[in-house]
Amino acid sequence: MKKLLALLTGSAAVSAFATTVLYNQNFENPVNFVNDGGDVNIYRTVNDLYGSQPTGFQFYQTYTSETLLIGGQQAWGVGFKDPQGKGGKYTLAQLSSVQNDILGLSFNIGSYDFLNFQLDISSIDLDRWGGPFVPYTTQGSAVPKFRLSLYDNPTAAIGLGTGSLLDFEDITGLSALNRYTFNWSNHVVALDAAGNTNGNVTLRIDVLEGGYAAMDNFRIAASDTQGDVGNKVPDALPLSALLGSLLGLATLHRRLQRRA
């Protein structure tokens, strides 16, 4: 009976963990970061700084997708400020206007139903490199709006997604009080991977509105559970189901004893 009970509860735990984490990145370990001015790395690509984290992983980008230094002294004469402490020392940022910065990340999700993506986003602005870019009113900054899109990628190419669009979702951040202080918001997006050819997909990240915006703390997972990024404790068996199973096992145990 103990073996049967262990099998029962073990199966429940396995089904609850039907999630595989594909990518985890807080952008805290850039390779040879260079402050090109204004606490901004603009000349080295995202791949130059974060490629092969993990080994073999590559980004695809259009235009620049800068890496910002948080806590420096050049940006706006005071440096970028992060009172929430979510950005760490480095973060990525993109333009929504002037140039259309886009970032592509490609994965194989196997037979999982969803590609789930957790990230933090914030309005922020540059005092050089063509900036400022973010519109402001007396109420604060324009809010950043991102579009997260999932494309079929049957050839497993590194790019922005040339196959059919599988799903997309728009997320909107918060207004910031000034141009140099982050105001982060956290988002979890579940992109439906149904209809992909062979498990290969491409995630496209594009800032649609807000002028300029930052993004950080990526956690990407393939899952059969919508929104699960692999950091949940498996659900316990409902008490009624557990008691019912125990009673059934007890009855089976008694029958086997009588037959013996």
Q: What is the per-residue pLDDT across 128-163, written as a single tens digit (0 to 9) for each?
A: 999 999 999 988 999 999 999 999 999 999 988 888
Q: Is the dihedral of CA 65, 100, 187, 139 positive or negative?
A: positive
Give the model's pLDDT for residue 226: 96
Alpha carbon dihedral 44, 47, 49, 54, in 10-degree steps, equals: 180
Q: How far apart are CA 227 and CA 221, in angstroms?
A: 9
CA 42 to mean position of chain CA atoms: 22
DSSP labels, 155-180 = T--SSS--S-EEEEEEEE----SSTT
At residue 134, what is the residue type?
V
Give the model's pLDDT for residue 252: 40
Give the model's pLDDT for residue 202: 97
Give the model's pLDDT for residue 97: 81
The model carries a pTM of 0.83
In the predicted model, residues of the chain with pLDDT beneath 70 are 1-17, 232-260
Give the model's pLDDT for residue 232: 61
Q: What is the overall mean pLDDT for the chain?
A: 86
Tell me the three state secondary structure of residue 239. helix
Residue 227 CB contacts under 8 Å (≥ 6 apart), including other chains: 114, 116, 188, 189, 190
Give the chain's radius of gyration (CA, Å).
Answer: 23
At residue 133, what is the residue type?
F
Q: How far apart are CA 73 and CA 79, in angstroms?
A: 4
Token pair of 105 as six digits: 């990340």
Q: How far apart are CA 78 and CA 137, in angstroms?
A: 21
Domain spans in the chain, listed from the N-terminal domain onward: 1-17+235-260, 19-233
Indicate the pairing of strand 59-62 with strand 40-41.
Answer: unpaired
Nearest to 116 by CA among 235, 254, 220, 33: 220
| In CATH, 19-233 is 2.60.120.260 | yes
Give the model's pLDDT for residue 35: 98
